[in-house]
Amino acid sequence: MAKKRWTDLSPRTRKAILVGSAVDGALKAAALADLRGRDESEVNGSKRRWALALTFVNSAGVLPVVYFFRGRRSAT
C-alpha cells in the first residue's frame, strides 16, 4: 500500500488532522504553562520529567489531560 500524501486526503480528513493538532498543541501549552507556575511541592513527580514528557511525547492530547488530573497536587 502506497503512502498517502496530504493532497490525497479528503478535505474532511485534513480538517480533522488540523483541528486535532491544534487541540493537542493548546493542551500541551496550557499544561506546560501551569507546570512552570507551580512549585516542585505542588507537582506529583518531577517537574523536569513532566516537562520533558509533555514536550517530547506525542500523545494526541492524552498526556496533558493526565497531567491536569494526576500530575498536580491539590491546594488543600
pTM of the entire predicted model: 0.79
The answer to whether the beta carbons of residues 9 and 16 sit under 8 Å apart is no
| Angstrom distance (rounded) from CA 39 to CA 41 | 5
Query: Domain for residue 2, yes or no?
Result: no
Which residues, including other chains, have CB under 8 Å from residue 55's CB and lie 6 or more apart? 28, 32
Question: In the prediction, which pLDDT does 76 show?
Answer: 56
**Domain-located, residue 26:** yes
Can you read off the three cell numbers belonging to residue 54?
Answer: 509533555
The label of the residue with cell 517530547 reads 56
Establish if 52 belongs to a structural domain.
Answer: yes
Residue 66 lies in a domain: yes
Q: Residue 44: inside a domain, yes or no? A: yes
Percent residues over pLDDT 70 in the chain = 96
Is residue 76 situated within a structural domain? no
Q: Which domain holds residue 41?
A: 11-71
∠58-66-25 over CA atoms, to 5°? 40
Q: What is the pLDDT along the chain (76 residues), one digit of tens a residue?
A: 678 899 999 999 999 999 999 999 999 999 999 999 998 889 988 999 999 999 888 878 888 989 888 888 876 5
Task: Kindly report the length of the chain.
Answer: 76
Question: 47 lies in a domain?
Answer: yes
